[in-house]
Amino acid sequence: MIERVNLGKSAPALYQSVIALDQLASDAIAQAGVDNGFSHLLRLRASQINQCAFCVRLHMRDALASGESNDRIAVLPAWRETSYFNPKERAALELVEAITLISDGQVADAIYERAANALSKDEISAIEWLAVVINAWNRIAISSRYPVGA
């Protein structure tokens, strides 16, 4: 297998800019009142969809460290089939999934309407920025083939 260019090492200024953007998104999440543990579930869900093993492992660990339960983490890929998530969390998960899968029909008006009915404008903005940032991280880690070993 050919060794990939590590984007963080090859362009450290750009990488640091993504770190700064991540911090701003995390600050917006906190200011909007979104639970820190749940924010890691949002990151985890996008990472699962993108099949980013590095970020899946990272955000699963962060979610656990932030007090999220094993059960909520375990059912995350099938969250629609459970009662583990309240209406605000369900709207947030749906919005993050739509942004992650944006090439599949954009962010449908119906999804945005459900988010607007359940979430404040500040929550929507923070969740959308979080989705943008985690998708950027997924692409960095996947493109660079960040190692994920036992």
- The CATH code of the domain that includes 62 is 1.20.1290.10
| Per-residue pLDDT, 150 | 77
Q: How far apart are CA 129 and CA 90, in angstroms?
A: 17
- What is the C-alpha radius of gyration for the chain, rounded to an integer number of angstroms? 15
First-to-last alpha carbon distance for the chain, in angstroms, is 19
Q: Which domain holds residue 52?
A: 14-144
* Mean pLDDT of the 59-68 span: 98
- Is the predicted pLDDT of residue 148 greater than 80, yes or no? no
| Per-residue pLDDT, 146 | 76
Mean residue pLDDT of the chain comes to: 95
Residue 49, in any domain of the structure: yes
Residue 4, in any domain of the structure: no
- Give 83-138 pLDDT, tens digit per residue: 999 999 999 999 999 999 999 989 999 999 999 999 999 999 999 999 999 999 99
Count of domains observed in the chain: 1
Residue 107, in any domain of the structure: yes
The pTM of this model reads: 0.94
- Give 23-59 pLDDT, tens digit per residue: 999 999 999 999 999 999 999 999 999 999 999 999 9
Residue 5, in any domain of the structure: no
Residue with tokens 């990151």: 43
Cβ-proximal residues to 130 (8 Å cutoff; 6+ apart), any chain: 25, 26, 28, 29, 39, 42, 43, 96
